A and B are shown apart, each in its own frame.
Chain A
Amino acid sequence: MKKAVRGLLIGVFWIAVWAGVSAAVGLKLLLPGPGDTVRALFALARTGSFWLTTLQTLLRVAAGYGLGVLTGLLLGSACARLAWLDALLSPVRTVIKATPVSSFIILVLLWISRTRVPVFIAFLMVTPIVWTGVQEALNAVDRDLKEMTEMYRFTAGKRLRYLYLPSIRPALTAACTTGLGFAWKSGIAAEVIARPEMAVGTRLYNAQIYLERADLFAWTLTVILLSMGLEALLKRLARRKGAAA
């Protein structure tokens, strides 16, 4: 309860700061206040296209994220087991991590359809995060416990269920949570540049072009709220899985 009240007070403080700065600037065109933003958000929420647009973006980001988690899991597991594969693939991972996301978006735009660019970019950003997390966690699995499972002749399935999955669960949860934030940011950035139809990123771009700053903030707020909601859901799911194990 205390924590919730503290969180609420902190939220109120920062909204007040936003309102204060907006009032000080005095130009809604430069910085709309929280009231303008919420009004714009409600106005948008009354239209069907808002929900369709949000859903399309959500599906694109979710698809890229899901593919990224799956690929990261496979690559992390394979590279933890095969040193030669790790040596072969680690430069790819380094390049992906070091390259600005905008470079990838522009490059990929030449190869695949606008609609798929955000999916691919979210996938590309999530994969190395999960890959690294899983590989490091697998490399850190307790050797003594590994030897115990060999001594008692655990089957591969039993080893996976009782040793490897519980060992990597904290790192996998952390990687998935971090990856989710990256998927959102990179997916929306890809939409802003690729501008597919029915996309939050396209609406952000249009709001910027047509100087609809309140809409720009309202769409941004939508993205933030969705991202926070999904992160909370993911953490809850991970906790439940952890408790069930």
Chain B
Amino acid sequence: MIRLDHVFAGYPGKKVLENLTLTLPDPGRTAVMAPSGYGKTTLLRLLAGLMQPESGRIEGMENRKIALLFQEDRLLPWLTAEKNVEIVSDPETAKKWLREMEIDDGSLYPHEMSGGMQRRTALARALAYGGDTLLLDEPFKGLDDALKERVAARIKNAAPLIVLSVHDAAEAALMDAQIVHLDP
């Protein structure tokens, strides 16, 4: 189990999460839902260890190999899709996940790809990293419904613990994930 206990977190001049207490199943899949600006990204960044809570405690995230799909794709613009994935894994694993994400041409640079292709390349990178924990911030951004379905089927068993942020319940259903609402 992952436990967040009375967590307060935010940025200078802006509180985002206030007194959040939450339990996430581990192993398991959890989809976090909330309107924009209500802390989905902050929660994932807290779990990834990129932010520390101002107060409160997070338990169960120690000693993990975490792969985080950022809200932005954060691909290195001077590397091809293939190289962007290879740098966190090995060539074979990179190729495998690019295929799974339906990236046929790994020689394209980010500026030559569509938004959806960039998203899938970033996803391939997170998956190729091979962590035991996958934190996915809006993984289906820019994908059409058919592609969402195929991509979800391929990633939902990729790690024992998956936490993702989604915009609607249908996306959570594609991942067979338990939904957690962050209430305003």
Seen from chain A, the residues whose Cβ lies within 8 Å of a Cβ on chain B are 144-145, 147-148, 150-152, 154, 158, 162-163, 166, 245
Known: A144-B72, A144-B74. Is A162-B87 also a contact (CB below 8 A)?
yes
- Which residue from A145, A154, A158, A166 sits with its C-beta under 8 Å from B74? A145
Contacts of A147 in B (CB 8 A): 50, 70, 74
Chain A contact surface mostly: helix
- Which residue from B48, B72, B74, B79 sits with its C-beta under 8 Å from A162? B79
Q: How far does the Cβ of B85 sit from chain A's closest Cβ, in whole Å?
A: 11
CB of B129 within 8 Å of the partner chain: yes
Known: A147-B50, A151-B50. Is A166-B78 also a contact (CB below 8 A)?
yes
- Nearest chain B residue, comparing its CB with the CB of A144: B74
Distance in angstroms between the alpha carbons of A152 and B86 in the assembled complex: 12
Contacts of B72 in A (CB 8 A): 144
- In the assembled complex, 21 residue pairs joining A and B whose CB atoms fall closer than 8 Å, in A order, are A144-B74, A147-B50, A147-B70, A147-B74, A148-B74, A150-B50, A151-B48, A151-B66, A151-B67, A151-B70, A152-B67, A152-B87, A152-B88, A152-B125, A152-B129, A162-B76, A162-B87, A163-B76, A166-B76, A166-B78, A245-B78
Seen from chain B, the residues whose Cβ lies within 8 Å of a Cβ on chain A are 48, 50, 66-68, 70, 72, 74, 76, 78-79, 87-88, 125, 129
- Nearest chain A residue, comparing its CB with the CB of B126: A152
Known: A151-B48, A151-B50, A158-B87. Is A144-B76 also a contact (CB below 8 A)?
no
Contacts of B125 in A (CB 8 A): 152
Contacts of B76 in A (CB 8 A): 145, 162-163, 166
Q: A147-B50, A152-B67, A162-B76 are in contact. List 9 more A-B contacts (CB 8 A).
A: A145-B74, A147-B70, A147-B74, A151-B48, A151-B50, A151-B67, A151-B68, A152-B129, A162-B87
Q: How far does the Cβ of A140 sit from chain B's closest Cβ, in whole Å?
A: 14
